[in-house]
Amino acid sequence: MITPPVLVLAGSTASGKTELALDLAERYGAEIVGADSRQIYRGMPIGTAAPTERQRARVPHHLIEFLAPQERYSAARYALDALRAIGEIRARGRRVLVVGGTGFYIRALCGDVALSPAYDPELRARLAREAQIHPSEALHDWLAALAPERARAIGARDPYRILRALEIALCGDGALASDRSERNSLRAAEIPFVKLALAVEDAVLDERIAARVDAMLDCGLVAEAERVGPSALAADAVGYPQALAYLAGQLTGAELRAVLVRATRRYARRQRTWFRGEPGMRFAARDGVAREARELWGSP
pLDDT value at position 214? 98
Looking at 9-18, 25-34, 157-166, 283-292, which range is the least confident one? Answer: 157-166
pLDDT of 273 > 80? The answer is yes
Residue 103: band (very low, low, confident or very high) from pLDDT cuts 50, 70, 90:
very high
Residue 174: band (very low, low, confident or very high) from pLDDT cuts 50, 70, 90:
very low
Please indicate whether residue 52 or residue 146 has the higher confidence score (pLDDT). 52
Please indicate whether residue 299 or residue 93 has the higher confidence score (pLDDT). 93
Residue 212: band (very low, low, confident or very high) from pLDDT cuts 50, 70, 90:
very high
Closest by CA to 12, choosing from 102, 97, 113, is 102
pLDDT of 72 > 90? The answer is no
The runs of H, that is alpha helices, within the chain are 17-28, 45-48, 53-58, 75-91, 103-110, 121-133, 136-146, 148-152, 159-171, 174-183, 202-219, 221-228, 240-247, 253-276, 286-297
Residue 119: band (very low, low, confident or very high) from pLDDT cuts 50, 70, 90:
low
pLDDT value at position 23? 98
pLDDT value at position 65? 96
pLDDT of 43 > 80? The answer is yes
pLDDT of 173 > 90? The answer is no
Q: What is the pLDDT of residues 238-258, one digit of tens each?
A: 999 999 999 999 999 999 999
- What are the structural domains of the chain? 6-115+176-200+279-297 (3.40.50.300), 121-172 (1.10.20.140), 203-269 (1.10.287.890)
